[in-house]
Structure 1
Amino acid sequence: MAKWFSVGFWESIARIILRNRITILSIVFLLTVFLALQWKHMRFTYTEANLLPDHHEVNEQYNQFLDKFGEEGNLIIIGVQDSTFFTPKQFTAWKNLMTNLKKSKEVDLIISVDDLKKLNKNESLETFELVDFIDSTKINNAKYLLEKREELFERLPFYEHLLFSKKTGTLRAAIYLDKEIVNTSVRRDFVVENLIPKIEAFEKETNIDLKVSGMPYIRTLNSQNIVDEIGIFIGAALLVTSLIFFFFFRSFRATFISMCVVIIGVMWAFGTLGLLGFEITVLTAIIPPLIIVIGIPNCIFLINKYQQEVKKHGNQAKSLQRVISKVGNATLMTNLTTAAGFATFIVTDSELLTEFGIIASINIVLLFILCLLVIPIIYSFMPLPKDKHLEHLNKTYTKTFVNWTEKTVKNRSISIYITAIVLLVLSIVGIYQMKISGSLIEDMPKKTGFFKDILFFEEEFDGVMPLEIMIDTKRKKGVMKLSTLRKMEEVQEIISEIPELSQPMSIVNVVKYSKQAYYNGNPDYYELPTAQEQGFILSYAKNATQNSKENFMKSYVDSTGQYARITTFMKDIGTEKMEKIEEKLWDKINKVFPPDRYTVTLTGKALVFQKGTNYLVTNLVLSLLFAIVLISLFMAYLFRSFKMVLISLIPNLLPLIITAGLMGYLGVPIKPSTILVFSIAFGISVDDTIHFLAKYRQELQANNWKIRKSVFNALRETGVSMFYTSIVLFFGFSVFMISSFGGTVALGGLVSATLLFAMLSNLLLLPALLLSLEKTIANQEEFLQPTIDILVEEDEKETESNS
């Protein structure tokens, strides 16, 4: 029954396809139109990649923080480092820029030197007042502006690190966006259509270079780069694969047909994204070019088989039927293993990877169906290939390569083993040098202006990525107790000592500023009040800016006075260093805030991302193990031989270990983008093993179970197609190396390298293993009748299609 399923089933499929050509093409056309209409539902991501599941403790803590204080990533900062800034012309231009931005409905608040508020004491009303720091009527007075610069830098420590760096003289403005629009398309529109044009106009007018950063700005431009690269990837993948395809086949017709098929596959990929309502992220953006790279080998197998059959007997109908019936099973199995490699991401419990796994695996299977349907049908309407189109079947360079592999396996098996063992040992050493990275910005395009601005702010203000400490005093108005404020100050002092973190801001800074204002602005009194001073100073502060929009610091205490936050910003640091910083902070926090009296939470976007990276690495390792087990079971189902499964795994696991070792030596860290390499490469590389072992088993039966002869026959038969597809995959994945995103570059380079290692491993190590184990597997019992025949025997009766 299984035999009938393998042969008879595919013969039936071939007849159905070739007898219903117009109907099938019509269905393909209608499906393409339907999926193209789903493009309108595609949307680009407006949030950071959340690598943690919703129910994870770190996510729940972050959501609790957002419930109390709202969106934290709503700050855009504009920096300026120019000696001419405090001159009438430049300062006026700056003021006009800030005024225009304030008019935007997306802006909630702007804190800038041109409209800075200074805290003054009003003794008659026993309160503090916010008064203008700079008199707008005097900004044309150069001497006045210089005096104000001096006062800002020397007498207003509250604004140091927030608005200026005393060390370098750098100034910045803080633009707080409406929290409701931070994770929507409105944010993108504001940044791209409003903020950037105004900044460019200012730079042109004043010849001052402005630095812009902050999470809303970074996220917007980073997302825009993702969108811009999709078209570049697709174009580059089409160009590279079409050139390689044409080089192999020397046929414009075959190249054009293949390109049309994979373009339809790309359209289907976009359509399924829209149909399922998934966002376009840095991962899903690479699926369309991925479809091209994976689809071309399908086309190579089908067209190569068709031309081989035409050359053999010249009967078009028979050739087309054999393309489907003989290659159908093989391509189905290899596509299923590739899809399985991607499908394992679904079990990671990460929405980002789950969506990537679903879309990729579905479209790989759809692509197989598309190739199997369209290519034979299109060729059925065309004349037989000419002799010049078949010349590539006898190309000397492929024969030379296959002959080299055959001689190497035959004469240098010991050298193959020694090389494999040396590479294995060196790779294991390299693996121990690998590090985990959880940086939010590491994979961002390094050559862009916004990335350079990130580095600028890291240097001047110690980072732009928020790190939050939320303190629950467990009593209403507990924050404003002097004892609590002093405890918070102790924590802030520890933060100030850590070079990777910026100077912290909290209600403590406001209270310090209140005392300074009470003592007539004397900066020597910028400190927490004593117990004797607390009552009257805090009573002044309580009414100082009540219900005032300018009181931006009110967001540092919740409405009940029970919860407080300390905000700092962190540099782009690795996971290992961040873990040490976190440990240092917790040591201090637990001493200052006893857990039985206070509940303290460490959170923020940067920390959530780093925790997510650690979580994801663990899950992706499990995903890789799951892929190995899944594909092993799949191959056991196909070959029904435990020894053959073991032999097939060795040449596919070795390239993964070599690549991991290379990552250690080259300093490429483990992160979400690089850990993907292993499952993807394993799912693809095992295709060659399936082709080789299927042919090997067939040769064993034809050659009376003679291992040596069967190995070399299989090597000669499958070597060319393995070489073709591996070259296409190598250069196809290399396309991703043109990306400006570090993660995508690493993904492309590492997958390409792994697949190249896998080709050599399958062509050299796998045959050598079979020959070395000849005595232990040279019996028919090791090869029971398979559940499914991957390859159809050459001498089996073929029925011609009445197409």
Structure 2
Amino acid sequence: MTKLFSVGFWEAIARLILRNRIGIILVVAVATYLFGLQWDKMRFTYTEANLLPDNHEVNLEYNSFLETFGEEGNLIVLGVKDSSLFSVENLNAWNKLSTSFKSNVEVETVVSIYDLQKLVKNNQKKQFDLEPFIKDSISSIDELEKLKGELFEQYPFYDNFLFNKETKTIRSAIYLEKSIINTPARKDFIIDVLIPKIEAFEDAYNLDVRVSGMPYIRTLNSQNIIDEISLFIGAALLVTSLIFFFFFRSFRATFISMIVVLIGVMWTFGIIGLLEYEITVLTALIPPLIIVIGIPNCIFLINKYQHEVNKHGNKAKSLQRVITKIGNATLMTNVTTASGFATFIITESKLLKEFGTVASLSIIGIFLLCLLIIPIIYSYMPMPKDKHLEHLNKRWINTFVDWMEGMVRHRKITIYVTALILLIASIIGIYQIKISGSLIEDMPKKAAFFEDIRFFEEEFNGIMPLEIMVNTNLKKGVMKLSTLKKMDELEELIIETPELSKPISVVSLVKYSKQAYYNGNLKYYQLPTSQENNFILSYAKNSSSDVDLLKNFVDSTGQYARITTFMKDSGIDKMERIEDNLTTKINKVFPKDKYEVIVTGKAYLFQKGTKYLVNNLILSLSLAIFLISVFMAYMFRSFRMIIVSLIPNLLPLLITAGLMGYLGVPIKPSTILVFSIAFGISVDDTIHFLAKYRQELQANHWRIKKSVYAALRETGISMFYTSIVLFFGFSVFIISNFGGTVALGALVSGTLLFAMLANLLLLPSLLLSLERSIANKEVLKEPHFRIIPDEEDKNGDK
């Protein structure tokens, strides 16, 4: 049969490559140069990962909030918990530090102890005046003590915002210009201005300043991602080159492989730039992934070349056979691997779409580079020496193969029982898996900014903004006393919720206005009665500071109000409980025919995004299984073989999921990737084994046992080599500072190790046990194309 991927096709490809070596090298060089030109289009992400589709209801509500009140994640907080701060010199220095940021164009406003003003009733003008707590600077201990007494005892409006009266922790709030929040200017201000000033202050006054807030966290988190790219690439190159050299004992082969995968990395960066994607925590993983996935391609091709040279000593013939007899195998294994990554494209999540697109294109790119560069380079090099071929007859690897064959031959029951026990234990473990909606769980736990997050959680109940927007559907409807009372009732629930901070809204301001109306008497810090409301509002309206007081809490029309609270880092279960409680209260307090109330904010958005991805995990993995089943059907034209081939690849996924349950590793955006990635890679071994098995069946006149053992011996070594490279290659991600990246590396490594054992032990055992139903000419018909040509002789598989 003349098929697109027939032997004749690959022979033509081999002639094309070997007869046009210089032209192909020039094409690769030009392509690499052109990809290099795209690098300047790469940009690092300055926003949080939005896991939801753009048209998702939660996204639309969040965008509606931003249109009304602007960017909500523009707050940076500085905090100090130290009794020595309350000295005249230190507190003045603290105020001077906070005030110094006002001169920066990136800063919208700064609110510190120095900036605090108290509302004072002006009976003569029938208005409220603003009087600063600190008129110039603190000059004596008496002034300091008076200030502490007023702040901590008389003015609850500022409590839990700029200070914690219980622990005496003080903080300052820096609001950045909303226009620079998602631009490089944010990073420049934080790295070049904010951090140096704080460090200088700490050195001068021996005070530990804590810093947090979404802009600060996002900046340092992004910087960690950038720093880890080069770390991962270096670690992946080191680990894979050492393993490669251990297997081949050849500096030449190792060097060639490293050159190939480095060009692949350059192409990956070029693809990111060409598509104008941002470098995120996920796309940053692709360059080292290409190294890890590219090295097995090099192993297959170089191992085959050395086998051929060892057999007949003809270099030209050996190079031709490398292409004709390994081309299909490497093509199909790379296509299946790329398919595992490509399934993320259907998730409708921009983050995963970009990851899946770049990864799948890069995998096809590294396949082309390996197929083109390795035979061409070897064509210009002298024949391998005897020492380069010694690895083909290692005793330890033969011992390993003997062990595998012995297990399959004599211990099939043991293999089945072990697989069954693992399956049952895994299913039990799966029911213990939890879903994490934490925005900071994957951040570096040892980083100073992570410790600061915990500090502000403890002192001020969190820094993750949660917003509630109230639409009264009436112009100036927010200031109606009935609306204020409804908002106050909702705020009482927020105050009672331990995971949420004290809310900030116009309600607090109105309460403070009543306190001011009664000359600062603390017992009047409450909402006014209907009779008092008119008098107090008339004072507030006459105040020249009215607009400034309301602008962050009420929109310009007076129709919309916001209630801002901050959340502790909580799992998805707690977040859903909080959401249910808030929704129940909102539905009870705010009639739907008069009010529209939405819950939104960064933390809420991320939690919903995580839930969305989990729901799409099954779809993504199902698509990967379907696509790979189609490949199997096209290659073997046997439904029974599809089932047999899927079993040893699905079992490792179940084992990994079970381990996640037992070890407490939650389902989250980073660990969701594990299953599709691992399945797409692990099925490669199945393809190699079954292709060789089908060939052996024909060569051995359908004698099943002989064919299984022959296939096991032929493919076992290469499967072992590549699995070890993949295991240690993915293990480099364990050195990451990001918990999600560590989990991804460990879980994929473990899954691939389980998959190797399943393909070397369980798969051949199944073939032997089901020989009557699957190993016959009707079931294993002539394939649509041959992965390994029939004329392949026994010593040249890989």
Question: Do these two structures clear the TM 0.5 threshold for a shared fold by scoring above it?
Answer: yes
TM-superposed CA distance for 1:620, in Å, is 2.1
Counterpart secondary structure, 2:666? coil
Distance 2:645 2:115 in 1: 71
Amino acid at match of 2:56: H
**CA apart distance, 1:123:** 1.4
Structure-2-length-normalised TM-score = 0.98
Matched, 1:279 2:278: yes
Give the corresponding residue for 1:708.
Answer: 705
SS at 1:346 equivalent: helix
Q: Offset of 1:795 from its aligned partner?
A: 5.4
Amino acid in structure 2 at the alignment position of 1:593: F
Distance in 1 between residues matched to 2:792 and 2:133, nearest whole Å: 94
Report what 1:26 is aligned to: 26
- Please tell me the residue identity of whatever aligns with 2:405: E
Structural mapping, 1:650-669, within 5 Å:
650-669=647-666
Aligned to 1:90: 90
Partner in structure 2 of residue 801 of structure 1: none
2:84 partner SS:
coil
Residues 93-124 of structure 1, C-alpha deviation per residue, up to 9 Å, x if partnerless? 21221222111111111110022222111111
| Aligned counterpart, 1:781 | 778
Deviation of the 1:277 alpha carbon? 0.1
1:312 aligns with 2:311: yes
Q: In 1, Cα distance between the equivalents of 2:95 and 2:780?
A: 82
The residue that corresponds to 1:800 in the other structure is none
Cross-structure match for 2:201? 202
Amino acid at match of 2:339: A
1:393 correspondence with 2:392 = yes
1:48 aligned partner: 48
1:144-191: CA deviations, max 9, x gaps? 112211211001110001111111111111111111111111111111
For 2:740, which of 738, 743, 758 is the aligned residue? 743
Query: What are the equivalent positions in structure 2 for 1:633-782 lying under 5 Å apart?
Result: 633-782=630-779
Paired amino acid for 2:772: K
The CA deviation string for residues 656-714 of structure 1, in whole angstroms up to 9 with x for no partner, is 00000000000000111101100000000000000000000000000001110000000
**Structure 2 portions without partners, runs of 5+:** 794-798
Q: How far apart, in 1, do the equivalents of 2:775 and 2:10 lie?
A: 30
Give the structure 2 partner of residue 140 of structure 1. Answer: 139
Distance (Å, rounded) in 2 between the aligned partners of 1:145 and 1:541: 30
Distance apart, 1:726 and its partner CA:
0.2
Quick one: distance in 1 between partners of 2:269 and 2:584? 49
Q: Which residue of 2 aligns with 1:799?
A: none
Equivalent positions of 1:578-589 (< 5 A) are 578-589=575-586
1:25 partner letter:
I
* Residues 1:410 and 2:409 aligned together: yes
> Aligned-pair distance for 1:772?
0.1
Q: Deviations over 1:581-635 (max 9, x none)?
A: 1111111111110112111101111001100110111112210011001110111
Deviation at 1:395, TM superposition (A): 0.8
The aligned counterpart of 2:181 is 182
| Aligned counterpart, 2:796 | none
- In the TM superposition, structure 1's runs of 4+ consecutive aligned residues that sit over 3 Å from their partners are 1-5, 545-549
The structural deviation recorded for 1:400 is 0.9
| TM-score when normalising by structure 1 | 0.98
Partners of 2:432 and 2:792 lie apart in 1 by 54
Note if contact 2:438-2:572 (Cα within 8 Å) is conserved in structure 1: yes
CA distance in 2, matches of 1:116, 1:545: 17
Cα deviation for residue 265 of structure 1 reads 0.4
**In structure 2, distance between residues paired with 1:791 and 1:780:** 18
More off after superposition, 48-57 vs 108-117: 108-117
SS of match in other structure, 1:782: coil
2 CA distance for matches of 1:349 and 1:779? 44
Instruction: Give the corresponding residue for 2:67.
Output: 67
- State the alpha-carbon separation in 2 of the partners of residues 129 and 4 from structure 1: 85
Deviates more, 1:93-102 or 1:677-686: 93-102
Report deviation, 1:779. Answer: 1.5
Q: Partner of 1:460 in structure 2?
A: 459
The offset of 1:520, in angstroms, is: 1.1
Are 1:651 and 1:761, in contact at CA under 8 Å, matched by a contact in 2? yes
- Alignment match, 1:128: 128
Aligned residue among 552, 557, 560 for 2:557: 560
Matched AA of 1:603: T
CA distance in 1, matches of 2:519, 2:792: 102
Residue 110 (str. 1) matches residue 107 (str. 2): no
* Cα contact 1:2–1:788 (8 A) shared by 2: no
Q: Which runs of 5+ in 1 are unaligned?
A: 797-803
Equivalences for 1:401-440 in 2 at 5 Å? Answer: 401-440=400-439
- Check the 8 A contact 1:130/1:545 in 2, yes or no: no
Structure 2 letter corresponding to 1:13: I
CA deviations on 1:228-262 (whole Å, 9 max, x unpaired) are 00000000000000000000000000000000100
CA distance in 2, matches of 1:189, 1:26: 41
**What are the equivalent positions in structure 2 for 1:264-303 lying under 5 Å apart?**
264-303=263-302
Separation in 2, partners of 1:398, 1:3: 37
Alignment correspondent of 1:37: 37
CA contact (8 A) 1:65 1:470 kept: yes
Q: 1:455 to 1:763 in 2, by over 3 A?
A: same
Q: CA deviation at 1:529?
A: 0.7
Q: How many residues are treated as equivalent by the alignment?
A: 794
Describe the SS at the equivalent of 2:788. coil
Contact 2:481 2:530 in 1 (8 A): yes
Secondary structure, in 3 states, of the residue corresponding to 1:780?
Answer: coil
The corresponding residue for 1:601 is 598
Cα distance change on mapping 1:795 and 1:102 into 2, 3 Å: closer
Find the aligned partners of 2:340 and 2:132 in 1 and give their Cα distance.
62
**In 1, Cα distance between equivalents of 2:766 and 2:274:** 47
Tell me, in whole angstroms, the C-alpha distance in 1 between the residues paired with 2:118 and 2:107: 21
Distance in 1 (CA, whole Å) between partners of 2:544 and 2:379 is 81
Tell me whether 196-205 or 124-133 shows the greater mean CA deviation. Answer: 124-133
Q: Distance in 1 between matches of 2:223 and 2:160?
A: 30
Partners of 2:284 and 2:250 in 1: CA distance: 31
**SS at structure 2 position matched to 1:479:** helix
Identity %: 69
Q: 1:545 to 1:170 in 2, by over 3 A?
A: farther
Q: Which residue, 563, 566, 569 being the options, matches 2:566?
A: 569
Distance (Å, rounded) in 1 between the aligned partners of 2:636 and 2:541:
79
Is the contact made by 1:655 and 1:757 (CA closer than 8 Å) also made in structure 2?
A: yes
Counterparts of 2:678 and 2:334, CA distance in 1: 13
Q: Aligned-pair distance for 1:735?
A: 0.3
Q: What residue identity is the alignment partner of 1:32?
A: T
Alpha-carbon contact 2:325-2:792 (below 8 Å) kept? no
Change (3 A) 1:548 1:105: farther
Q: Is contact 2:107-2:177 (8 Å) kept? A: yes
What is the Cα-based RMSD across aligned positions, in Å?
A: 1.1
Deviation, 1:521, is 1.1
Query: Which has the higher mean CA deviation after the structures are superposed, 186-195 or 715-724?
Result: 186-195
- 2:527 is equivalent to residue 509 of structure 1: no
Confirm or deny: 8 A CA contact 1:473 1:479 kept in the other structure: yes
Q: CA deviation at 1:477?
A: 0.7
- Quote the Cα distance in structure 1 between the aligned partners of 2:577 and 2:115: 40
Structure 2 counterpart of 1:529: 528
* Structure 2 match to 1:629: 626
Cα pair 1:2 1:787 within 8 Å, conserved: no
Please say if residues 332 and 368 of structure 1, whose CA atoms lie closer than 8 Å, have aligned partners that are also in contact.
yes
User: What is the match of residue 12 of structure 1?
Assistant: 12
Counterpart AA for 2:633: A
Give the drift of 1:541: 1.3
Match of residue 370 from structure 1: 369
